[in-house]
Structure 1
Amino acid sequence: MVKSTDAQSTYPTEFWILFLTVFAAMLGLGIIGPLMPIFASRLGAAGIALGLVFSGFSLSRTITMPIVGYHSDKHGRKQFLVMGLILYSLISIGYLFTHNIIELIWLRLLHGMASAMVIPIAMAYAGELARRGKEGEMMGTFSIATMTGLGVGPLLGGVLTDWFGESAAFLALTVLSGFAAFLAFRFLPEQHGTRKKRSSGSFRENLKQVVQSRKIMGVLWFRFVMTLARGTIISFFPLYAAAVGQSLSNIGILLSINMLLMSLFQKPFGRLSDKTGWRLPFILAGMVLAAISLFLIPYAHSFVQLLILNLVMGIGGALAFPAAVALVVEFGRQIGMGSAMGYFNMALSTGMIFAPIFSGVIYDAVNIQAIFYINGTIILAGTVVFYGLIRSAKRTPA
């Protein structure tokens, strides 16, 4: 590892290996993003059943993540990451042989278990590489891999599906996940420097520390609430956009723009958060922007209008995420980075369980426009709750 400059010591060689590995995996996952709601609908899913397709993925992910995170603190991260990526590749082949909604839900459950071994573990790996005072910048930089992969993926997925059919998108996920597994296995070293520190404390003790910290509970609440926006966009925005006349390629572009803008601003907003120490204002601003843009979606009917709202939502995410994950890194140094990232991503998955089912109920009971009105209002109210938790944490020892 080269350590001749400050920049190089901040971003060691294994960071860039991890970056490329995660980018390849998320690119493959993003490719099937715009396809999945339409694929599920073609198999007979509607409303609640469509919500279950997405919630099944998140349910198994939620249950698995804290356990995997804790054991990665005990036994190392690389084996979990490689295993998860191999499972990604194998499971994606199963989508080609799915003929009904029940089979699809079972595959999504398995896919969620594999997912628990990828992003949370990769984030824990990156978190341990982050220098003190540089958490926002480094984790923001790392998030570029995730956001760019998930951002470019829908665009490629829409084009691949339009030109070559559904099979091409699922095969792309298989190939890219396999490539990511090879990169991790061949080039990513195991972390050993903080093994003793990472293995301290039982699973129950770690959970108790999380529950007793109002600051980290506030960050987990932020992650859950912001996932309402993300879950709604992933699950029902493609259907709304199609209903107002957008092609699958256009839908892919819209989803890509959202993620790519988040990717573009992650590093500068993370660096600014580090320099100013303004974690709370950045997170609050991001939540408000997400709520407003989601609420306004039913008023948008043209591609340009939908594009503007996705741009606003992307900026909101870029403001909030680096500041929030920096707080998680700081907490991870106390209980173990794998455990901390496991809980952080568990909050995301809990939101992904709730959002599609809740939105599906609204869709069945009212209409698709009501999904965006109600979820936007909930996120705005959730912003107030988040502020209260963080403010009380400043007055009360965590």
Structure 2
Amino acid sequence: MRDLPRRIVAQFAVDRRVLALAFARMADGVGNSFLIIVIPLYVASDIVGGATFGLEEAMIIGIILSLFGFLNSSFQPFTGRLSDRVGRRKPFILIGLGGLAVTNLSYIFAESYLSLLVIRGLQGVSVSFIVPASIALVNELATTQDRGGNMGVYNTFRLIGFGAGPIAAGAVVNLGPYTIPTGLEVTGFDAVFYIATVTALISYLLVTVLISDPDATKANAGADLSIAIRDPTGKRLLDPIFTLGVASLFLAAAIALFATIQPQVNARLEQGSTWFGLQFAAFILAQVLLQTPIGRASDYYGRRPFIVGGMILLIPTTLVQGFIFTSELMFVARLAQGIAGAMVFAPSLALAGDLAGEGESGSKLSILTMAFGYGIAIGPLSSGALVGYGFYVPFVFGTVLAVFGTILVYTQIEETLETTRPVPVVGND
């Protein structure tokens, strides 16, 4: 038993560059998620004014927040493909992080709705450089035997950063203003923008010092980067990576239905905002706890069982949210929905990575990240439009998407691991 700790560590070991990249994404995730909470408060403050173009304040906030997601997702296939053609990932990540640092600092000087819109749009474009290149780099630093675990570790740390930001952001704003040693007073809003800038710079430094492109990436630059819809082998109707992209869109939309109907949820469950925050965070909690072990398990038992199982679990966990009447049960449902998401995320990226040829990772994996981003944007819009027809209607819509996604992955996805391997049993010493 003396070697047990060493063997456990070995089971979850990843390339140090993947770990460095995961920490970098965690840092920039903290800063970027700060803004999700702070931007609505900033828009509603007396600091920001100017032309509203006839729009209500709530609509302006929605446009500013959604523009980031739509531009980020729309540009990812182009930046992913470009990084494949150039044969390098690191410069694209640095361009994106540099853009984030500059735009985070720019909020301090923004005093109009239009300037906020421009800054948030530029942030979306900046992140579109980071996401495909980062996922492609993780894929290329991994092998078929450990790709799921590497994807799980990367996603876990990224989500820790994304989940921690909103928790701290409100406190930073409310505790302001601050007096720094020079005697200068800094408002709560400015403090948030400075913190977001620093986290982006920390990420930039980590990537600069600790990350390098694999030699094989540059050697295979300029490969065939076409994106197929039909299965080129003729075995299935749809290309498996395209299928995973569609399933990711459906999954993300079903998950994000909950985000924009807080008043309706709180009224139905007779609860306050604290309970809603816990229910919203339950999904992220499940992701943080399970992404790495599920990703590692997919390296042994195969990708397909987890993807299909996760999509199947998504069906009841989405539907039940439309018929729940207690806060506790809603928390459990959201937690179970998070388990479903964890079963799909890392194994899907690993399976797509298995199928991507040398020099194609940016183009192929960007299909999944783009689709997920669109799903996150479509989900809240759908629930906002449908909840007026009945509280349960958005969740029935999400359930239908989950059913179609399950059918797609079950019929169009094949296992990529040649053999599944049992988890090694640690013997007695």
Is the pair's TM-score, using the shorter chain for normalization, greater than 0.5?
yes
Flag the 1:143–1:17 CA change in 2: closer, same or farther, 3 A.
same
Alignment CA distance shift 1:377-1:19 (3 Å):
same
Distance in 2, matches of 1:328 and 1:162, equals 44
Out of 145, 148, 171, the residue aligned to residue 136 of structure 1 is 148
Match of residue 396 from structure 1: none
- After TM superposition, list the pairs within 5 Å mapping 1:1-398 onto structure 2: 7=10, 11-35=14-38, 44-46=56-58, 52-75=63-86, 76-96=88-108, 103-164=115-176, 167-201=190-224, 203=225, 206-208=226-228, 212=232, 214-233=239-258, 235-240=259-264, 245-247=271-273, 251-277=276-302, 279-300=303-324, 303-334=327-358, 336-363=360-387, 366=389, 370-390=393-413
| SS of equivalent to 1:32 | helix
C-alpha spacing 1:62/1:354, structure 2 compared with 1 (3 Å): same
* Deviates most, 258-267 or 367-376: 367-376
Label 1:344 to 1:267 Cα distance change in 2 as closer, same or farther (>3 A).
same
Q: TM-score, normalised by structure 1?
A: 0.82
CA deviation map 1:252-297 (0-9, x unaligned): 54443321321211121122222122x2331233223334333333
TM-fit CA distance, 1:160: 3.4
In structure 2, what residue type is equivalent to 1:348?
Answer: F
Distance 1:100 1:378, change over 3 A: farther
| Partner-residue secondary structure (3-state), 2:227 | helix
Counterparts in 2 of 1:35 and 1:210: CA distance versus 1, 3 Å: farther
Q: Within 1, Cα distance between the matches of 2:409 and 2:148? A: 19
How far, CA to CA, are the matches of 1:359 and 1:229 in structure 2? 9
- Secondary structure, counterpart of 1:133 in structure 2: coil
Q: Which amino acid aligns with 1:31?
A: F
Q: Which runs of 5+ in 2 are unaligned?
A: 1-5, 49-55, 177-187, 233-237, 417-429
CA distance in 2: counterparts of 1:238 and 1:40, whole angstroms: 20
* C-alpha separation in 2, matches of 1:253 and 1:37: 20
DSSP-derived class of the 1:193 partner: helix
* Distance in 1 between residues matched to 2:266 and 2:113, nearest whole Å: 21
CA distance in 2, matches of 1:33, 1:330: 34
Amino acid at match of 1:219: L
Displacement, 1:113? 0.7
Give the C-alpha shift of residue 298 in structure 1. 4.5
Q: In the alignment, what sits opposite 2:179?
A: none
- Post-superposition offset of 1:108: 3.1
SS at match of 2:213: coil
Whole-Å Cα distance in 2 between the matches of residues 38 and 308 of structure 1?
Answer: 30
Q: Which one has a larger percent helix, Structure 1 or Structure 2?
A: 1
Indicate the larger mover: 289-298 or 31-40: 31-40
What amino acid does structure 1 have at the position aligned with 2:356?
Answer: G
Shift of 1:168: 4.4
**CA distance in 2: counterparts of 1:145 and 1:358, whole angstroms:** 29
Q: Distance in 1 between matches of 2:414 and 2:210?
A: 43
Greater C-alpha Rg: 2
CA distance in 1, matches of 2:325, 2:28: 33
What displacement does 1:128 show?
A: 0.5
Maintained 8 Å contact 1:81/1:118: yes
Contact 2:229 2:242 in 1 (8 A): no
CA contact (8 A) 2:286 2:338 kept: yes
Check 1:88–1:311 CA distance in 2 against 1; reply closer, same or farther (3 A cut): same
**Count of matched residue pairs:** 382
**Distance in 1 of aligned mates of 2:213 and 2:372:** 26
Could you tell me which runs of 5 or more consecutive residues in structure 1 were left unpaired when the two chains were aligned.
Answer: 394-398
Cα distance in 2 for partners of 1:70, 1:11 equals 26
Deviations 1:185-227 (A, max 9, x none): 23322332332224322x4xx2247874521121111111111
C-alpha contact (below 8 Å) 2:221/2:359 kept by paired residues = yes
Q: CA RMSD in A?
A: 3.4
CA distance in 2, matches of 1:103, 1:210: 43
Identity of aligned residues (%): 23
Q: Distance in 1 between matches of 2:319 and 2:192?
A: 31
| SS class of match (1:118) | helix
